[in-house]
A and B are shown apart, each in its own frame.
Chain A
Amino acid sequence: MNRKKKRVAGRLADRFELPEGMFCETAEASISGNSEFCVEHCLCILKYEREEIWLSVPRFTVKIYGECLTLKSFFLKSVAVRGRIKKIEYEEKPGGKR
Chain B
Amino acid sequence: MKSIIRYIRGYYRIKVPSRHKIRVANILLHNGIENWHEESSEEGDLCFCISEKDYKKLLYIIDKNGTEVYIVYRRGLPSVIASHRNRAGLLAGLFCFFLIIILSSFYIWDIKIVSDTNINHNEILANLKALGCYEGTFVPSLDFDDLCIDYVNKHDNCSWISVNVKGTVAEVEIREREIYSHLPKEVPCNLVASHDAVIEDFQVYSGKSLVEQGNVVKKGDLLVSGIVEKKDQSKLRLCHAEGEVWATVDSELRVEVPFDYKKQEYTGQEWEKRQVRFFNFTFPVFSTVPKKKENCTHLTEYGDVVLFDEIELPLTMEKEVYRQYELKDARYTKEQAQAAAEHLMENKFAAELSGAQIIKISTNESVTDTAYILTCSVKCRMNIAKPVEIQTN
State whether A47 touches B39 (Cβ < 8 A).
Answer: no
**What does the 1/0 interface line of A44-85 toward B look like (CB < 8 Å)?**
111111100000000000000000001111111101000000
Q: A45-B25, A49-B44, A74-B29 are in contact. List 9 more A-B contacts (CB 8 A).
A: A44-B30, A46-B22, A70-B38, A71-B38, A74-B38, A75-B28, A75-B33, A77-B29, A79-B29
Known: A49-B44, A50-B40, A50-B44. A71 touches B25 (CB 8 A): yes
Complex partner residue of B22 from A47, A70, A79, CB under 8 angstroms: A47
Cβ–Cβ < 8 Å partners of B25 in chain A: 45, 48, 71, 74
Known: A47-B22, A48-B21. A70 touches B40 (CB 8 A): yes
Cβ–Cβ < 8 Å partners of B270 in chain A: none
- Chain B residues bordering chain A, tally (CB within 8 A): 17
Contacts from B to A (Cβ < 8 Å): 21-22, 25-26, 28-30, 32-36, 38-40, 44, 46
Q: List 6 A-B contacts (CB under 8 A).
A: A48-B22, A48-B25, A49-B44, A71-B40, A74-B25, A75-B34
Alpha-carbon distance A44/B21, docked complex (angstroms): 12
State whether A44 touches B38 (Cβ < 8 A).
Answer: no
Secondary structure call for the A interface: strand
Cβ–Cβ < 8 Å partners of A79 in chain B: 29
Cβ–Cβ < 8 Å partners of B35 in chain A: 73-75
Q: Which 3 A-B pairs have the closest CB atoms?
A: A70-B40, A74-B29, A44-B26
Alpha-carbon distance A48/B46, docked complex (angstroms): 10
Contacts from A to B (Cβ < 8 Å): 42, 44-50, 70-77, 79
Closest Cβ of chain B to A70, distance in Å, is 4
Closest Cβ of chain A to B26, distance in Å, is 5
Secondary structure call for the B interface: mixed
Complex partner residue of A76 from B26, B32, B46, CB under 8 angstroms: B32
Alpha-carbon distance A76/B54, docked complex (angstroms): 14
Query: Nearest residue in A to B18 (C-beta to C-beta)?
Result: A48
Cβ–Cβ < 8 Å partners of A76 in chain B: 32
Cβ–Cβ < 8 Å partners of B44 in chain A: 49-50
Closest Cβ of chain B to A75, distance in Å, is 5
Alpha-carbon distance A76/B33, docked complex (angstroms): 8
Complex partner residue of A74 from B28, B39, B40, CB under 8 angstroms: B28
Closest Cβ of chain B to A14, distance in Å, is 31
Alpha-carbon distance A16/B52, docked complex (angstroms): 46
Cβ–Cβ < 8 Å partners of A50 in chain B: 40, 44
Cβ–Cβ < 8 Å partners of A71 in chain B: 25, 38, 40, 46
Alpha-carbon distance A76/B35, docked complex (angstroms): 10
State whether A72 touches B21 (Cβ < 8 A).
Answer: no
Complex partner residue of B39 from A45, A48, A70, A77, CB under 8 angstroms: A70
Alpha-carbon distance A50/B21, docked complex (angstroms): 12
Alpha-carbon distance A47/B23, docked complex (angstroms): 10
Query: Nearest residue in A to B34 (C-beta to C-beta)?
Result: A75
Alpha-carbon distance A71/B47, docked complex (angstroms): 10
Cβ–Cβ < 8 Å partners of A49 in chain B: 44
State whether A42 touches B21 (Cβ < 8 A).
Answer: no
Known: A47-B22, A48-B21, A48-B22. A75 touches B40 (CB 8 A): no
Cβ–Cβ < 8 Å partners of B30 in chain A: 44
Closest Cβ of chain B to A22, distance in Å, is 22
Alpha-carbon distance A48/B40, docked complex (angstroms): 10
Pick the most buried of B33, B38, B39, B44: most chain A CB atoms within 10 A of its CB. Answer: B38
Pick the most buried of B22, B32, B34, B36: most chain A CB atoms within 10 A of its CB. Answer: B22
Known: A46-B22, A47-B22, A49-B44. A72 touches B38 (CB 8 A): yes
Complex partner residue of B29 from A45, A47, A70, A72, CB under 8 angstroms: A45
Query: Nearest residue in B to A42 (C-beta to C-beta)?
Result: B29
Cβ–Cβ < 8 Å partners of B36 in chain A: 73
Closest Cβ of chain A to B98, distance in Å, is 39
Alpha-carbon distance A79/B33, docked complex (angstroms): 13
Query: Nearest residue in B to A49 (C-beta to C-beta)?
Result: B44
Query: Nearest residue in B to A55 (C-beta to C-beta)?
Result: B29
Closest Cβ of chain A to B121, distance in Å, is 65
Cβ–Cβ < 8 Å partners of A48 in chain B: 21-22, 25, 46
Known: A50-B40, A70-B40. A75 touches B21 (CB 8 A): no
State whether A44 touches B29 (Cβ < 8 A).
Answer: yes
Closest Cβ of chain B to A98, distance in Å, is 14
Known: A75-B32, A75-B33, A76-B32. A45 touches B38 (CB 8 A): no
